[in-house]
Structure 1
Amino acid sequence: MQLTQALTRAVQTRHAHTATIYQNRKRSWKQVGERVPRLAAGLRGLGLKRGDRLAVLALNSDNYIELFFAAAWADLVLVPLNTRWAVPENVYTLRDAECSALMVDDAFAAQVPQLLAGHPMPQVVHMGDGATPVGLRSYEALVADSKPMADECGSGDELCGIYYTGGTTGHPKGVMLSHANFTAASINWIATLHFDEDTVYMHSAGLFHLAGASPAFALTMAGGTHVCLPKFDAMLAFEAIQEHRINYCLFVPTMINMMLNHPDFDRYDLTSVRYCEYGASPMPDAVLEAAIRKLPSWVFIQGYGMTETAALTVSLPWKYHFDGEHGKAKRQAAGRAAYGVDVKIVDADGQEVPRGTPGEIAVRGAQVMLGYWKKPEATAAVLRNGWMHTGDGAFMDEDGFVYIVDRVKDMIISGGENIYSREVENAVHAHPAVRECAVIGVPDEKWGEAVMAVVSLKDGRTATPAEIIEHCRTLIAGYKCPRHVEFRDALPLSGAGKIMKNVLREPYWEGKKRSVN
């Protein structure tokens, strides 16, 4: 199992087909196949050795796609840095991973002095399209001036990439993923999510994240076409779909919500899209209903996974989004185990619980990470007896469908009752004025914790806290309803497009010894 096998097959079987589209530039698989071995040789020429860590801080581009495979070709370990993180967070990542070189594009070249302050790095490569800054090496020069090298890609359980995740408490953790992890995940993606050689896929999720990288590897294996947006923007997405007749997208629910509520939504022809995979955070039912109504030609497929499992582990096919043999309830599920993945729901002791009983999702299979970089204790805490313990609360029904109820740590306990924020969020989202919301627990002297809804409203709409609370009372039990409602213009988002509940909680738990009450 080698990451580069996906590329060599695409070049062999689809050499004249368009491989990448970025802005006004197109490259065929033949061109990419010629450039990657040269870039790999250029990276080795910088003095990098097999197993060295190569960091990249850049927006999505065709060069980023090439770099994935060039790093593997040279048997380097790629360390993608989060484009949404502050400089100190990425400085920590560079030092923690002991990176030997750094790639940056036009958007981040100015950060290089800060990134390397007190930690000089001998080689920094500029992979943007603008002029190469003084002191940096040119990406295109590495390609042009290097002779192609033989493929020296690692294989199997050898380390391929370190993807940093978390950071909500303490320092982020580097997830070590192998060639076998990525290969298994790619085959799974093709089988479960219907990638093929005719797929024209739009990269809107950041390639530093597994929601961006995992489909990039799978699409290359399938020999489809990568259309790269620098980052998600509703207008850029509309324009790209219409211009390139994109037929496959992946969006975080917040992205879909932004598109549906965009004032120019109806100006664009979006009918070329056949499949849309959504995931990374729960999709409020009101948003899903609006998406199905406004985008009737789109087939929606939910995917659930995490960085530690190389992304996809559970999937909900399109047919379960509607009334049918099992009724509408299946639409509330994250789905069933994907191919080659074992999933079970366990209690605190790791024992499987009866169907319908909430517990923690545990996953086993070829996609599960090697462990956390230089964190054996953190690794041992989640990898137990061959199973990855996800920290996500869920239950499984008799048909094997998994229903996410919350992050285990996000469950709110008020007056002794367990309250799952997702259920409350679905109720708040159903209010016609609500655009986005996040439900958190805040300290309460009487109840221990109280439910708070942090809400952003649709443009031109108004609502009061009392109206939101009363609306919820018509949908869920009174003890689950928000006791407090706070309005904001926008909610803080992570690099993966998830609402950062930890940021919302911080002011309320400041000075507390623990974040439960």
Structure 2
Amino acid sequence: MQLTQALTRAVQIRHRHTATLYNDRSRTWAEVGERVPRLAAGLRAMGLKAGERLAVLALNSDNYIELLFAAAWADLVLVPLNTRWAVPENIYSLRDAECAGLVLDDAFAEQAPALLDGHAMAHVVHMGDAPTPAGMTGSEALIARSAPMPDACGRDDALCGIYYTGGTTGSPKGVMLSHRNFVAASINWIATLHFTDQTRYLHSAGLFHLAGASPAFALTMAGGTHVCLPKFDALLAFQAIERHRVNYVLFVPTMINMMLNHPDFERHDLSSVRYCEYGASPIPDAVLAAAIEKLPGWEFIQGYGMTETAALTVSLPWRFHFDGEHGPHKRKAAGRASYGVDVRIVDAEGQEVPRGMPGEIAVRGAQVMLGYWKRPEDTAAVLRDGWMHTGDGAWMDEAGFIYIVDRVKDMIISGGENIYSREVENAVHAHPAVRECAVIGIPDEKWGEAVLAVVALKAGHAVTEQELIAHCRMLIASYKCPRRVAFCEALPLSGAGKIMKNVLRAPYWEGKKRAVN
């Protein structure tokens, strides 16, 4: 299995058809098939060697789609950087992965000096439509001056990409994904989510994230058409769907809610959409009901997965959103195991629990990661006896439907983004007035969950809620920062001296059926 097989197949069977649409630019699969080997050759000619890590910090574009495959073609390991992270967070990923090259687009080119401060890197590529800044090499110049190179792609369990996730220990972890992971995930995606060569898919989720990259690989394998938005914006999504007759979209629940409540919602023709996958966080019942009512031609499919499993592992097809063969509708379920993966609910010893009993979701299959980059202990903690232990608590019914009820690991999901409380706590604790801090997720109608910091101050010190939030914004991405701060004299401790977050959460989740929103 090698990732570039997806591209060569698309070029072979769909060469005259549209591959990518971005702003006013359109490229066929034949054009993409010509550009990718040239870009790969240009990257190698710069001095990048097989197996070296190439970071990219860019918004979604047709060029980013090509880079995903050019890196693989050149046998480089791509390291996508998070466009929503603060500079220090991306510096950490660059250095941790020991990246030998960096690709920046127009939106992030000005960050180059800060990102490279103290990090010697000779290979910096500008991938955009603006003039290439001094000290960088333009990607279009690389393509223009390079002859296409033979496919040097790795295969099977060779490392293909490192995707960083928020870390429970205060720093992100690099998830190592192989060619086998991505190919298996693509086949699964096509089988489960109905991608075909007629699919016109809107990329609104960031390509740095598996919710963006995984469908990009799968859609290429299917030979469909990529319609790229730089990033999600409700009005831009309306316009792209209407203009390009998009028939497939993926939105996190927060995006769906924003669209439904946008003042221009009724002014655009969204009837071309056939399928909408939603995921990354549970969708509120009221939002899903409103979407079904206001978008009667859309079929909604829920997807559950994680970076460590190359995204999709569980799905809830459209028909189970209503009463049917399994009785009352299953809208509250995450779904059932998708193709090519085993999913079960296990206890602390890794033994499967009886149906209906709560436990932890464990996943096995060709999509499961190789491990965490340079973190053997963390890898061993989650990969046990061939199973990936997800950290998500759930139960399974007799028909195999999985219902997520809590998180085993201490994580908050706000607006579809994973936020680890330890990261936020580290930022809060860095303020000189803070003595103790615990960060929890509380219900929020707009974001699903909001970050709440519960803080005890040092004697004789004072700080306001807004001052603490502003302090955090200097250290971590804004979406991770507390939206609220609650002050107390002391945090509740267990007999072992651990902060009892369950006690802090209880008042906010009282009356809720599950401890995630």
Report the TM-score range of the alignment, normalised by the length of the smaller protein: 0.7 to 0.9
Cα distance change, pair 162–496 in 1 and its aligned pair in 2 (3 A): farther
Note if 1:173 corresponds to 2:173.
Answer: yes
Q: Look up the match of 1:438.
A: 449
Q: Look up the match of 2:91.
A: 91
Q: Look up the match of 1:482.
A: none
1:226 shift after superposition: 0.2
Separation in 2, partners of 1:98, 1:510? 44
Separation in 1, partners of 2:124, 2:452? 44
5+ long unaligned stretches in structure 2:
413-439, 457-468, 492-497, 504-517
1:507 shift after superposition: 5.8
SS of residue matched to 1:257? helix
Query: Cα deviation per residue 1:212-250 (whole Å; 9 max; x = unaligned)?
Result: 000000000000000000000000000000000000000
Query: Cα deviation per residue 1:424-451 (whole Å; 9 max; x = unaligned)?
Result: 95xx7xxxxx544426788799xxxxxx
Query: Cα deviation per residue 1:241-264 (whole Å; 9 max; x = unaligned)?
Result: 000000000001100010001011
Query: Cα deviation per residue 1:121-170 (whole Å; 9 max; x = unaligned)?
Result: 11110001001001110100000000100001000000000000123641
One-letter amino acid of the counterpart of residue 356, structure 1:
G
In the alignment, is the contact (CA less than 8 A) between 1:394 and 1:405 conserved in 2? yes
Question: TM-score, normalised on structure 2?
Answer: 0.83
Q: Look up the match of 1:185.
A: 185
Cα distance change, pair 163–102 in 1 and its aligned pair in 2 (3 A): same
RMSD: 2.5
Separation in 1, partners of 2:279, 2:206? 14
Q: Look up the match of 2:283.
A: 283
In the alignment, is the contact (CA less than 8 A) between 1:322 and 1:328 conserved in 2? yes
Separation in 1, partners of 2:484, 2:4? 43
Q: Look up the match of 1:102.
A: 102
Q: Look up the match of 1:53.
A: 53
Listed as ranges, the matches of 1:21-60 within 5 Å are 21-60=21-60
Separation in 1, partners of 2:166, 2:448? 21
Q: Look up the match of 2:151.
A: 151
Note if 1:328 corresponds to 2:332.
Answer: no
In the alignment, is the contact (CA less than 8 A) between 2:161 and 2:177 conserved in 1? yes
Cα distance change, pair 91–337 in 1 and its aligned pair in 2 (3 A): same
One-letter amino acid of the counterpart of residue 322, structure 1:
F
More divergent stretch after superposition (435-444 vs 390-399): 435-444
Cα distance change, pair 246–163 in 1 and its aligned pair in 2 (3 A): same
Separation in 2, partners of 1:119, 1:410? 32
Separation in 1, partners of 2:64, 2:490? 42
1:330 shift after superposition: 1.2
Separation in 2, partners of 1:3, 1:409? 32
5+ long unaligned stretches in structure 1:
413-420, 429-433, 446-487
Separation in 2, partners of 1:40, 1:158? 18
Question: TM-score, normalised on structure 1?
Answer: 0.83
Query: Cα deviation per residue 1:94-120 (whole Å; 9 max; x = unaligned)?
Result: 000000000000000000000000112
1:400 shift after superposition: 0.3
Separation in 2, partners of 1:196, 1:265? 28
In the alignment, is the contact (CA less than 8 A) between 1:72 and 1:153 conserved in 2? yes
1:402 shift after superposition: 0.5
Note if 1:120 corresponds to 2:120.
Answer: yes
Note if 1:70 corresponds to 2:81.
Answer: no
1:509 shift after superposition: 8.9
Cα distance change, pair 18–384 in 1 and its aligned pair in 2 (3 A): same
Q: Look up the match of 2:415.
A: none
SS of residue matched to 1:328? coil
SS of residue matched to 2:50? coil
One-letter amino acid of the counterpart of residue 438, structure 1:
E
Note if 1:224 corresponds to 2:224.
Answer: yes
Separation in 1, partners of 2:281, 2:62? 27
Separation in 1, partners of 2:61, 2:218? 17
SS of residue matched to 2:100? strand
Listed as ranges, the matches of 1:267-346 within 5 Å are 267-346=267-346
In the alignment, is the contact (CA less than 8 A) between 1:509 and 1:515 conserved in 2? no
Q: Look up the match of 1:15.
A: 15
Query: Cα deviation per residue 1:333-353 (whole Å; 9 max; x = unaligned)?
Result: 010000010000011111111
Cα distance change, pair 510–163 in 1 and its aligned pair in 2 (3 A): farther
Listed as ranges, the matches of 1:463-478 within 5 Å are none
Separation in 1, partners of 2:373, 2:159? 10
Separation in 2, partners of 1:264, 1:79? 37
One-letter amino acid of the counterpart of residue 233, structure 1:
D
1:407 shift after superposition: 1.7
SS of residue matched to 1:360? strand
In the alignment, is the contact (CA less than 8 A) between 1:209 and 1:496 conserved in 2? no
SS of residue matched to 2:330? helix
Matched residue pairs, number? 452
One-letter amino acid of the counterpart of residue 121, structure 2:
M
Q: Look up the match of 1:473.
A: none
Separation in 1, partners of 2:128, 2:179? 27
1:327 shift after superposition: 3.4
One-letter amino acid of the counterpart of residue 245, structure 1:
R
